[in-house]
């Protein structure tokens, strides 16, 4: 019997996680995170509820990662911290994971680099990575062998004939696997609503070439996903071509480029790289600044640059900001706020609506169908999408001749069971979301909470700051509401300390910062956290409330 269980990535975009079982052993494919919507107070990250894996801790064959994006590896440190197990991944993916693990002080039991064309064993499974093109280098599809048949998980893929790293999809191997026979294929549905092919990354490089060559009086600020190392490489190469300098701003960018260099996926030309604090010693037209935070996150690099919170440089008249990234649904308002601010300062903004400054890493309809025609699996399982995309992908399968019995549209928390090479039944597995607060490595989860009778024991602190938007200042003393957090219960000294730290923090802000409730909320939270840390190791859930009057 083979059982495939979906703990994330279906029914919603983000936190991809699939469990494959055979003969009593579990193989986990991907373990990603997602960012919460703005309205979950005090929560910074969402990871899959992987209690199903914890409950089967004695039967783990390992964790295989398809590529290094957050929605595929972001929750892996949380899983590996609880349950050390062998990890299988390509070189760059492993490098990005290692960075996360060392930040959180987690050590996996063994790490195996997946090399193209080589099968490795993982319990009763064999695992082979097949290189595919995507928006991060070293992405792979996975062929997962079991005694009852082979599964193919496409991972995230597109079919780019001119990828900037010149590493093409291994078409021959995919077709060979298809000829050998695939029981079931799990296939990326993200861009199923786009006709044709999604387009090559080279078109973005050509657009950026145009902007960099035309840059003659202004700074060029480019924001992109910090995992997009091919595009980052291209920008360094273009900078060298036009004798410009490149500075990085944002922790994830600095760290990911370092990993990229270490594992040999990024080659920074000599004399191009400068530090963020050197920007002001060059003429604006000689500097390209790459900034993280393309989704307009309040505390991230792009927002800080736009709102003059970066001490080294800001947006000045005539500067260009290029948004070389997709705006993830839900983030439109935050990004629009940044764009608005750049215009307010006399800058220009170029988005994917204006010019070809971004292209998706996920294949469109023709790419999905081409993959399917090579693999020709017995069962077609759309993954990586909301129900709309999964059903859209099922429609493509029907066009290709699959009947309803061989297309398995599934959902979060569902499992599909196969027996003797045939689909047998659907089932349910426990799943959902676990919420991560701040820098904690332990989720605010049911295992932690299980022994607690009451939220009051959890410890919650609600700092409330009242702001006069018009006058750009605090209207009254901050209020601290707390419950079940002994440090603050009755300890008026600490409460006063928190309050006076908040007052000092708000005094240090500009009127503009005070007026921006999302920035202010983040700062209220970090200030309270810092003050509490001085007094106690345990930090409660902090729910900052900013009221504008």
Contact between 416 and 426 under an 8 Å Cβ cutoff? The reply is: yes
Cα–Cα distance between 30 and 16 in angstroms, integer?
6
> Taking the mean position of all CA atoms in its chain, how far away is CA 198?
21
> Is 362 assigned a catalytic role?
yes
DSSP, collapsed to helix, strand or coil, labels residue 469 as coil
> Is 188 assigned a catalytic role?
yes
Hey, what are 333's tokens?
A: 């308002």
Residue placing its CB nearer to a second copy in the complex, 255 or 468: 468
Query: Which DSSP symbol is given to 238?
Result: H
Hey, what are 190's tokens?
A: 């993200």
Residue placing its CB nearer to a second copy in the complex, 105 or 196: 196
Q: Residue 189: which residues within 8 A CB-CB, separation 6 or more?
A: 368, 382, 383, 384, 385, 389, 390, 392, 393
| CA dihedral (342, 344, 350, 351) positive or negative | positive
Residue placing its CB nearer to a second copy in the complex, 36 or 84: 36
Place of tokens 């059903």: 391
CB of 450 to a second copy, least distance (A): 9
Residue placing its CB nearer to a second copy in the complex, 145 or 392: 392
CB of 332 to a second copy, least distance (A): 4
CB of 218 to a second copy, least distance (A): 16
Query: Which DSSP symbol is given to 266?
Result: -
Residue placing its CB nearer to a second copy in the complex, 29 or 522: 522
Residue placing its CB nearer to a second copy in the complex, 243 or 403: 403
Cα–Cα distance between 528 and 520 in angstroms, integer?
12
DSSP alpha helix (H) spans, 279-364 = 301-306, 332-344
Q: Which of 30, 160, 188, 319 is catalytic?
A: 188
Contact between 125 and 146 under an 8 Å Cβ cutoff? The reply is: yes
CB of 391 to a second copy, least distance (A): 6
CB of 495 to a second copy, least distance (A): 12
CB of 9 to a second copy, least distance (A): 13
CB of 35 to a second copy, least distance (A): 11
Per the DSSP assignment, residues forming a β-bridge with 47 are: 434
CB of 499 to a second copy, least distance (A): 12
Q: Among residues 21, 30, 7, which one has the least CA distance to residue 418?
A: 21
Residue placing its CB nearer to a second copy in the complex, 241 or 446: 446
Q: Among residues 309, 250, 305, which one has the least CA distance to residue 510?
A: 309
Binding site for a second copy (CB under 8 A): 11-12, 37-41, 49, 51, 193, 329-330, 332-333, 336, 339-340, 343-344, 349, 353, 386-388, 390-391, 411, 430-433, 435, 444-446, 449, 452-456, 460, 462, 464, 466, 468-470, 475-477, 479, 481, 483, 515, 517-518, 521, 541, 543, 545, 547-549
Q: Which of 362, 384, 437, 445 is catalytic?
A: 362
Run of H or E including 184:
strand 184-188
Residue placing its CB nearer to a second copy in the complex, 139 or 514: 514
CA atoms in the 13 A half-sphere facing the CB of 464: 10
Contact between 111 and 94 under an 8 Å Cβ cutoff? The reply is: yes
Edge to edge, the sheet with strand 320-323 lists 273-274, 245-249, 287-291, 220-223, 320-323, 348-350
Which residues are known catalytic residues?
188, 362
């Amino acid at each position: 019997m083979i059982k495939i269980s979906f703990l994330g990535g279906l029914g919603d975009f983000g936190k991809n996680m699939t469990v494959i079982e055979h003969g009593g052993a579990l193989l986990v494919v991907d373990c990603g995170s997602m960012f919460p919507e703005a309205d979950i107070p005090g929560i910074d990250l969402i990871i899959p509820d992987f209690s199903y894996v914890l409950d089967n801790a004695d039967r783990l064959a390992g964790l295989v990662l398809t590529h290094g994006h957050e929605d595929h590896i972001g929750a892996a440190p949380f899983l590996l911290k609880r349950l050390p197990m062998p990890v299988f991944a390509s070189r760059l993916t492993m490098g990005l994971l290692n960075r996360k693990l060392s930040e959180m002080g987690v050590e996996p039991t063994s790490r195996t680099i997946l090399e193209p064309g080589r099968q490795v064993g993982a319990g009763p499974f064999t695992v082979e990575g097949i290189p595919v093109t995507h928006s991060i280098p070293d992405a792979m599809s996975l062929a997962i062998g079991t005694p009852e048949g082979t599964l193919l998980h496409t991972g995230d893929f597109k079919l780019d004939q001119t990828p900037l790293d010149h590493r093409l999809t291994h078409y021959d191997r995919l077709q060979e696997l298809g000829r050998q026979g695939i029981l079931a294929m799990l296939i990326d549905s993200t861009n199923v609503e786009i006709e044709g092919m999604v387009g090559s990354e080279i078109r973005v490089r050509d657009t950026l070439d145009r902007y960099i060559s035309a840059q003659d009086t202004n700074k060029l600020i480019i924001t992109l996903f910090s995992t997009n190392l091919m595009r980052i490489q291209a920008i360094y190469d273009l900078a060298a071509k036009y004798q410009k300098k490149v500075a990085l701003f944002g922790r994830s960018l600095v760290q990911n480029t370092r990993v990229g260099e270490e594992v040999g996926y990024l080659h920074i030309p000599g004399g191009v790289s400068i530090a963020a604090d050197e920007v002001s010693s060059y003429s604006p037209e000689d500097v390209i600044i790459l900034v993280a935070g393309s989704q307009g996150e309040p505390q991230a690099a792009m927002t800080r640059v736009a709102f003059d919170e970066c001490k080294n440089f800001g947006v000045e008249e005539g500067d260009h900001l290029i948004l070389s990234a997709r705006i993830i649904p839900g983030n439109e308002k935050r990004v629009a706020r940044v764009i608005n601010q750049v215009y307010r300062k006399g800058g220009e903004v170029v988005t994917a609506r204006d010019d070809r400054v971004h292209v998706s890493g996920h294949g469109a309809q023709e790419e999905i169908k081409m993959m399917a025609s090579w693999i020709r699996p017995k069962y077609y399982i759309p993954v990586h999408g909301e129900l709309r995309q999964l059903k859209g992908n099922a429609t493509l399968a029907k066009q290709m001749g699959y009947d309803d019995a061989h297309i398995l549209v599934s959902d979060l928390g569902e499992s599909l069971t196969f027996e003797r090479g045939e689909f047998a039944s659907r089932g349910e597995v426990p799943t959902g979301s676990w919420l991560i607060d701040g820098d904690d490595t332990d989720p605010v989860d049911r295992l932690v909470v299980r022994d607690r009778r009451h939220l009051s024991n959890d410890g919650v602190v609600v700092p409330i700051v009242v702001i006069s938007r018009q006058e750009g200042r605090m209207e009254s003393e901050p209020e601290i509401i707390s419950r079940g957090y002994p440090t603050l219960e009755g300890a008026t000294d600490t409460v006063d300390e928190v309050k006076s730290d908040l007052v000092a923090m708000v005094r240090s802000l500009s009127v503009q910062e005070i007026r921006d409730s999302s920035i202010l909320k983040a700062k209220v939270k970090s200030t309270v956290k810092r003050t509490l840390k001085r007094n106690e190791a345990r930090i409660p859930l902090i729910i900052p409330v900013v009221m504008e009057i």
